[in-house]
Structure 1
Amino acid sequence: MDVLIIGGGIIGSSIAFELTKRGASVVVIERGAPAQEASSAAAGMLGAHSEFSTDHPLIPLALKSQAIFPDVLAELYELTHIVVHWNETGMLKLATTMEEYEKLTEHYEFWRRIQPTHVRWLTADEVAQIEPHVRNEYGAMYTIDQQVDAEQLSLAFARAAMAKGAKFLSYTEAYDFIVEHERVVGVKTTNGSLYAEHIIIACGAWTPMLAEKLRLSLHMYPVKGECVSVMTETPLLQATVFAKNGCYIVPKANNRLVIGASAIAHSFAKNVQTCSIHQLLTRATQIVPAIAHCTFEKTWAGIRPQTKDGVPYIGAHPQYANVFIVTGHYRNGILLSAITGRCVSDMLEGKEVPFDMTPFSPTRKGEGHALHH
């Protein structure tokens, strides 16, 4: 095959989709089922403006990815007939304390300088008119950010890649590499060895373990995120509400609200702690009191891949040019899925990428990355 992708989450699937569109033969191996782990656990916010409050190398990619999403969703639907829930009612970023208010106004001023048409400041009265169920005394920053159903989107990328000819091997775990003449020619898996011209490691928080097999240390760690969902008899929210204290409430189809998320670093455990759900529901009901009377639906957890400096790894291995590392998107994997597939495909084909990819190098300076000899 031309390309072997390790990891069938939204990042691996989006790369597979883009590469197959360009005519490559692609096989994706996944230790479980496609679109599981962090991809299906995410709330699905495309928060380009709500997520970043200072200069960040991801901003150009985030804005472009957000902009192309409508076309991407149309393309995915044409190939799969999967209807991905898409909400364009925007996002309210709230402050719950004076300290948060001061930070939020700085956040607003940052985007007002960059994209004044994409953000606006709302007074507390204006918030009450738009979202009467939201308790707010400081006002809010409104952004045009959208949100999607993350699980539907992840499955749509995977099935669209399959429709274009990609082969997905589920319950197939990679555990080592086959190196010949200083080149990685294949991967050893629990279902036998597979060979490819190019290999992409995109298995989220589990990527460092495989990178170590190629003597590359990645400075990243898992962060467990727990969520809870509730059902309402009538819609409580139109827009997504995201408080500066980290609590978000995302309205989904059928009067469902997703509330998240905890952030427990260095944990691969998928259990959901009662203390986390208590904290999330307490924060949520402080913002939207009517949530206290909603019907509990379920809880779940996902393991997000976080890098030490908060910037993903997207680039070639320093020693093996045909091996690419693509991981560390943390809370922005859904948002960045569309553009990541295109960027990685350009890099693999040797084309010029329309963004500065230097900050995403697996061996970027200042991180202490090193090859083991």
Structure 2
Amino acid sequence: MAKLAIIGGGIIGLACAYYWRKQNQEVVLIDKGNPGEGPSRCNMGWVSPTLSGPLPGPGMIGTSMKWLFKKDSPLYVKPSAVPFLAPWLIQFMRYCNEQKYQLACDAGFHISKDTFQLFDELVDDGVEFEMHRKGLLVLGSNESDLQHKYEDLKQVERIGLPRPELVTGAELLKMEPHMKANLAGALFLPKERHVRPESMVNGLIDWLQVNGVEMKTNDAVTDIVHNHARVERVRCNTGWVEADMFLLAAGAWSSQLMKKLNYSLPITAGKGYSITYQSPNMEFNHPIYFAKDKTALTPFDGALRIGGTMELSGINDELMSDRVNGIKSSVAKFLSKEIHGSGEVILSGMRPMTPDSLPVLGGLPNFKNVFVAAGHGGNGLLMSLSTGRILSDLISGRDPGLDVTPFSPQRFK
């Protein structure tokens, strides 16, 4: 029985632990806090391969330049963070072209193509969580904008999903009566799903505990001991952990861990915000993406969540009121009345961002027993089960069934 030590207990680390344990292998999960915190709990919960496209793309540089230093904009770069973010931003800009955008789209589609099947298998395996199969709506600012998005998103047919359905303003109002009556319409993605992310995290934790996975919580890794091409053990706050293999799945903190191995990866933190209303005064039938403002709305059982934005300000817990108010006002302009609820919870999470928006998956160069699964950006929940399955295969020496070259840790060298 091979022992795998997973550093990081977010949705990626939990999914990797799940697939490794399903092989009857030994797992120890190490987290600096409590498993499933941060972006794993407060994201929008979308299981949407159609919307798995990369952040950098044609025209992104011009668009983002209008947003960069506005505190309530969809993309904000904190001025004091520019010096240490500059190398990452320069790499990001190199991916803002049509060719690299299409390559990243293809890679994202292929890693997500079996997503629905994997979520169904998770349910069959006894993991309990809230999941809805209702599709998803994408709103455009006008008919021309909708047509442009349709042309971009219809390429999802290549992985067997239906192309988006164009919905008129009148049809949209029937689907979602709380929308304003003068909207141009939307694209309906009929096969997409959404889950309550907190419930999925809790379901995985419960399954892992029942199935004998050791969890070391509030136990940060402070040192990594390696001899030539192998890591032998890691030092935590509570002592040493030895294992046969090690997996770095610490999200936005992964690059800090890699420095202990004299390796560098361009993973930075992209902060997102969400506001969750308990017992909301409005009910919605589908998740809704407000594409122009990069904000979103997701209905859950007994709750409603709105969220979005990308804030590049380093790793921090600061909640900027301008960012929160920007999300609220962006969503409000599409609705017939203001959202209220019996309670309001505001959270932020540090998305692990790579310059090309693709995750880093695979063995760490120069090491025989160290692997990486990090950098999923806003697609962590969507790609979590695929990632867990792929890493389980790679660590075991099996063929994962797809080309992992686009996700290689060496692609930025």
Q: Normalising by the residue count of structure 2, what TM-score does the alignment of the two structures yield?
A: 0.82
C-alpha deviation, 1:110, in angstroms: 2.8
Q: Give a deviation string over 1:229-275, Cα, whole Å, max 9, x none.
A: 22455543100010112110000111x21001121014322222111
Give the partner amino acid of 1:52. G
Q: Assess, with a 3 A threshold, how the Cα gap between structure 1 residues 164 and 33 changes in structure 2: closer, same or farther.
A: same
2:247 is aligned, of 189, 195, 200, to: 200
In 1, the alpha carbon distance for the partners of 2:109 and 2:120 equals: 19
Whole-angstrom CA distance in 2 between matches of 1:296 and 1:26: 38
Shift of 1:117: 2.9
User: What letter is aligned with 1:6?
Assistant: I
Q: Which residue of 2 aligns with 1:123?
A: 168
Change (3 A) 1:363 1:116: closer
The match for 2:406 among 354, 359, 368 is: 359
Q: 1:204 to 1:113 in 2, by over 3 A?
A: closer
Tell me if the contact between 1:76 and 1:157 (Cα under 8 Å) persists in the aligned partners: no
Instruction: Classify 1:3/1:288 alpha carbon distance in 2 versus 1 (closer, same or farther; 3 Å).
Output: same
The answer to whether 1:142 aligns with 2:188 is yes
Q: Which digits, 9 at most, give the CA deviation of each residue in 1:117-141, with x for residues without a partner?
A: 3531212221112112123532211
1:165-222: CA deviations, max 9, x gaps? 2100111111221112432111121211111110000000000011111111101200
Contact 2:109–2:156 (CA under 8 A) maintained in structure 1: no
| Partner of residue 133, structure 1 | 178
Q: Deviations over 1:285-305 (max 9, x none)?
A: 112232345555121111110
**Can you give the 5+ residue segments of structure 1 that lack an aligned partner in the other structure?**
78-82
Q: Which residue of 2 aligns with 1:24?
A: 25
What is the match of residue 65 of structure 2?
A: none
In 2, Cα distance between equivalents of 1:157 and 1:232 = 26
Is the CA contact (8 Å cut-off) linking 1:227 and 1:262 kept in structure 2? Answer: no
- Count matched residues: 360
Matched ranges for 1:159-170 at <5 A: 159-170=206-217
Report what 1:279 is aligned to: 326
Give the direction of change, closer, same or farther, for the CA distance of 1:233–1:198 in structure 2 (3 Å limit).
Answer: closer
Q: Which runs of 4+ in 1 moved over 6 A?
A: none
Question: Over the residues paired in the alignment, what is the CA RMSD in angstroms?
Answer: 2.0
Q: Which runs of 5+ in 2 are unaligned?
A: 55-101
Bigger drift between 119-128 and 219-228 goes to 119-128
- Further displaced range: 97-106 or 342-351: 97-106
* Equivalent residue in structure 2 for 1:248, among 262, 275, 296: 296
CA–CA separation in structure 1 for the residues paired with 2:49 and 2:297: 17
Separation in 1 of the partners of 2:391 and 2:158? Answer: 30
> Given the superposition, is the C-alpha separation of residues 149 and 293 from structure 1 closer, same or farther in structure 2, using an over 3 Å criterion?
closer
CA displacement 1:63-94 (0-9 Å, x = unmatched): 212332122123143xxxxx411111110001
Q: Aligned runs of 1:206-225 on 2, under 5 Å? A: 206-225=253-272
Q: Which 10-residue stretch deviates more, 208-217 or 265-274?
A: 265-274
Separation (CA, whole Å) in 1 of partners of 2:111 and 2:229:
33
Counterpart check, 1:349 vs 2:400: no
Q: How far does the alpha carbon of each residue in 1:344-363 deviate from its partner, in whole angstroms, 9 at most, with x for none?
A: 00000000111111111101
Deviations 1:320-349 (A, max 9, x none): 021001100111111111111111000000
Q: Distance in 2 between matches of 1:294 and 1:310?
A: 34
| Percent identity for Structure 1 against Structure 2 | 25
Cα separation, 2, equivalents of 1:151 and 1:5: 20
Aligned AA (2:295): C
- What amino acid is the match of 1:92? L
Contact 2:277 2:340 (C-alpha < 8 Å) held by counterparts = no
Out of 338, 349, 356, the position equivalent to 1:302 is 349
Alignment of 1:73 onto 2:123: yes
* Letter aligned with residue 207 of structure 1: S
- Residues 10, 36 of structure 2: 8 Å contact kept: yes
Range moving further from structure 2, 178-187 or 334-343: 178-187
Residue 92 (1) aligns with residue 137 (2): yes
